[in-house]
Structure 1
Amino acid sequence: MDIKSEKALDELSKKSSEYEDKLNEKTKVIEDKLEKSKFDYITILGIFASIVVAFVGSFAFSTSVLQNMKEVSIYRLSFVTCAIGFVFVNMIWLLTNFITNLTGKMKDIKFHIPCIVFNVIFFLIISASSGFYIYDTYFANND
């Protein structure tokens, strides 16, 4: 009986160690999923916060700036509105870029290219409106 009980005890300890290993593996999987869900929550809240901050800031800033520009030329108005758009597009891009770098997601996606395109467009519009303003101010009024 002593040998049988030792064999049974060995089998029981082997099975318990197998179950313990399986339990540890499943625990690691669950912990990994929990960590991933934390990063997902950070991503969602960060994107929402960046969008809210950008839109609230843009509306408040642009409203106050545009209210103080009562009787200005169309060139100066287009310059200021493009400058405001330039600042807020870049602010949204920086906030979303920070969040994606923080979470480590979307490393392969090149979403900085649309921001570069917007910056080039804003720069062209600002340059054109500045050029037209200079032309209108200094050269067209010399009649």
Structure 2
Amino acid sequence: MARAQETYGKKEREKKRLKKREEKAKKKAERQANSKVGASFEDQLIYVDENGHFTDTPPDPTKKVKVDAESIVLGIPKKEEQEEEDPIRNGKVSFFDTSKGFGFIIDSENNEKYFVHVSGLIDEIAENDKVSFELERGMKGMNAVRVKKT
């Protein structure tokens, strides 16, 4: 009967595996020797200092800050009263294609371009007309709606 061949590669892998196992056993014995089995609870505590860093010394009681529990806001804070802006804006039609039914209006206050669709028109408009309009959130940004000539 033929015997299993033990090649050089097999021998090297076996040596590596045994060496790794020995190193692991040494590390385990070292950890057990250095562990503090009888360590007190206070020795195991970790504190956080005023800067948010971990430390093994307890915090200084003189640096303690008193926080009023009622001053902590849980949830979303209430909106403060703001004066409402006039929803009606003024602008100029920079481009309008009647065959396709859409165009763009440039706001006279902030020079931003807003998309306008024929469904959002009250009056018929053409390029370079002065118009008043309101803004509404569309799928791709703000759209001009309820557009009238001025």
* TM-score by shorter chain over 0.5: no
Tell me the TM-score normalized by structure 1: 0.29
Task: Pick the structure with greater CA Rg.
Answer: 2
RCO (CA 8 Å, sep 6+): is it higher in 1 or 2? Answer: 1
Greater helix share, 1 or 2? 1
Greater strand share, 1 or 2? 2
